[in-house]
């Protein structure tokens, strides 16, 4: 186990000296460096690397399915198959994000392969380490873009046309129109197991270094565009204003209140103001609502309530409102057979999460499970996100046991 050694290789990449957080947006220089690091790590291990035309990277340990040997008909989770066991996560971050969200799953996957090799394990089915592109949606707006393309969850033409804040299109950043769905996905892969830092404190409370995920709350993103009339801050009478900033302020409060009323989560974490001048009534405010709930109907009611209340407020403010859904992720219940099997194997607690993951997207197509590694702060999407080296090492050992169970028997 050389967790710290490997971790230190990527720790400086994309780190902002001011905040201590990471700026690793998909297909920008820091993320491209991490992708080069991925290729180098695969080379060191003699693992061939392939890309899927969507920006996702794969490194394979073991013979491809076509070369499967006799006796290769074991069962993985609920599904029979000779496909590979997929593991890994993503390199990209939210603005000023933590070190562990994403990269921990990729680093742990390579180290788990090392662990298995050190014990002389021989995969009956290949183990494939993946790095998915644009999981956070921090650059192009749609989270889990790489896994959504791979599964056919998003149309490649829509993905190609997504633009970052500077107007660069996803296809341009990728260097090609994305390839889209792999129709053979379910044959190529027998299962996916993503290891991830926990983004809450359930494992701290449980006193366990590693847990297994049961479900992901349904969640989505909605863009609220509020248009009014730009005007002079000093000369425009208060009664004459059509100020979208007022409607925006109400939106933030309404989202918070409606989520609390339902035991759900709602966040307005991003806002753009035009013209963004101290001495001008804004002409337009755009903000993004991130909403999540345990049940789909609660989520629907929450968003409808916020929309209705903001529309009513906009009428009073004399502003215009347009609400556009940008992404939606349904409730994900991870494969119960696989999850139960891994929880028993690892004697680990099982917990749900409100955070989205590529595993949640792939779960629609493959038996999928997730391992969580304890996070002492419970904080994520922030530089304060953390995990101890001992717990990260425990995560690698757990992942190696899982891969041994799924790929080597
Ligand atoms: O936003 C999320 O839930 C995830 O961390 N991508
Ligand atoms: Mn994240
Ligand atoms: Mn993540």
DSSP character string of 329-351: E--EE--HHHHHHHHHHHT--EE
What pLDDT score was predicted for residue 63? 86
Q: How many CA atoms lie within 13 A of 179 on its CB side?
A: 13
The verdict on the CB of residue 391 being under 6 Å from ligand 1 is no
The verdict on the CB of residue 355 being under 6 Å from ligand 1 is yes
What pLDDT score was predicted for residue 1? 60
Is-above-0.75 flag for pTM?
Answer: yes
What pLDDT score was predicted for residue 74? 38
Taking only the tens of pLDDT, the chain with its 409 residues reads 699 999 999 999 999 999 999 999 999 999 999 999 999 999 999 999 999 999 999 999 998 765 444 433 334 433 345 799 999 999 999 999 999 999 999 999 999 999 999 999 999 999 999 999 999 999 999 999 999 999 999 999 999 999 999 999 999 999 999 999 999 999 999 999 999 999 999 999 999 999 999 999 999 999 999 999 999 999 999 999 999 999 999 999 999 999 999 999 999 999 999 999 999 999 999 999 999 999 999 999 999 999 999 999 999 999 999 999 999 999 999 999 999 999 999 999 999 999 999 999 999 999 999 999 999 999 999 999 999 999 999 999 999 999 999 999 9
Ligand 1 atom closest to the Cα of residue 219 is 3
The residues near 406 (Cβ < 8 Å, ≥ 6 apart) are 76, 77, 85, 125, 190, 191, 193
- Which of 26, 104, 105, 199 most suits a substitution to test ligand 1, by most atoms within 8 Å of the C-beta? 199
Q: Phi/psi of residue 57, each to 5°? A: -110, 145
The verdict on the CB of residue 135 being under 6 Å from ligand 1 is yes
Domains of the chain: 2-217+331-407 (3.40.630.10), 219-329 (3.30.70.360)
Angle at 150 between CA 170 and CA 79, to 5 degrees: 165
The verdict on the CB of residue 146 being under 6 Å from ligand 1 is no
Ligand nearest to the CA of 370: 3
The verdict on the CB of residue 194 being under 6 Å from ligand 1 is no
What pLDDT score was predicted for residue 95? 98
The residues near 138 (Cβ < 8 Å, ≥ 6 apart) are 25, 26, 92, 93, 94, 95, 97
Q: Say if residues 214 and 319 touch (Cβ distance below 8 Å).
A: no
The verdict on the CB of residue 216 being under 6 Å from ligand 1 is no
> For residue 25, which of 139, 122, 127 has the smallest C-alpha distance?
139
Per-residue pLDDT tens for 84-137?
999 999 999 999 999 999 999 999 999 999 999 999 999 999 999 999 999 999
Ligand 2 centroid, distance to 102 Cα (angstroms): 7
Ligand 3 centroid, distance to 242 Cα (angstroms): 40
């Amino acid at each position: 186990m050389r967790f710290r050694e490997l971790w230190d290789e990527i720790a400086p990449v994309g780190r902002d000296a001011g905040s201590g957080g990471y700026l690793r947006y998909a297909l920008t220089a820091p993320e491209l460096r991490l992708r080069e690091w991925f290729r180098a790590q695969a080379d060191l291990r003699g693992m061939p690397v392939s890309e899927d035309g969507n920006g996702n990277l794969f490194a394979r340990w073991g013979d491809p399915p076509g070369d499967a040997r006799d006796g290769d008909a074991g069962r993985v989770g609920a599904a029979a198959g000779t496909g590979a066991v997929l593991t890994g996560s993503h390199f990209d971050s939210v603005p000023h994000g933590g070190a562990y969200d994403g990269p921990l799953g990729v680093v742990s996957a390579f180290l788990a392969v090392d662990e298995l090799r050190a014990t002389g394990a021989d995969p009956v089915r290949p183990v494939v380490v993946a790095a998915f592109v644009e999981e956070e949606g921090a650059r192009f707006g749609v989270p889990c873009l790489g896994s959504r393309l791979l599964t056919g969850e998003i149309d490649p033409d829509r993905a190609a046309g997504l633009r970052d804040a500077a107007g660069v299109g996803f296809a341009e950043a990728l260097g090609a129109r994305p390839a889209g769905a792999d129709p053979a996905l379910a044959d190529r892969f027998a299962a996916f197991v993503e290891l991830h830092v926990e983004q809450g404190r359930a494992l701290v409370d449980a006193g366990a270094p590693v847990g297994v995920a049961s479900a992901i709350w349904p969640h989505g993103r909605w863009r609220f565009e509020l248009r009014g009339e730009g005007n002079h801050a000093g000369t425009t009478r208060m009664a004459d204003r059509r100020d979208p900033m007022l409607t925006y302020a109400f939106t933030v409060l309404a989202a918070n209140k409606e989520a609390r009323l339902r035991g759900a989560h709602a966040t307005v974490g991003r806002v753009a103001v035009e013209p963004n001048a101290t001495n001008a009534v804004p002409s337009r405010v755009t903000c993004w609502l991130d909403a999540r709930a345990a049940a789909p109907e609660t989520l629907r009611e929450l968003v409808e309530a916020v929309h209705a209340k903001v529309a009513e407020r906009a009428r009073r403010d004399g502003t215009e409102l347009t609400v556009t859904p940008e992404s939606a992720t349904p409730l994900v219940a991870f494969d119960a057979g696989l999850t139960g099997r891994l929880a028993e194997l690892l004697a680990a607690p099982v917990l749900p999460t409100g955070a989205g993951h590529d595993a949640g997207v792939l779960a629609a197509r493959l038996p999928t499970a997730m391992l969580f590694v304890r996070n002492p702060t419970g904080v994520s999407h922030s530089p304060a996100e953390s995990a101890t080296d001992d717990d990260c090492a425990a995560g690698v050992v757990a992942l190696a046991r899982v891969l041994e169970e799924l790929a080597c028997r």
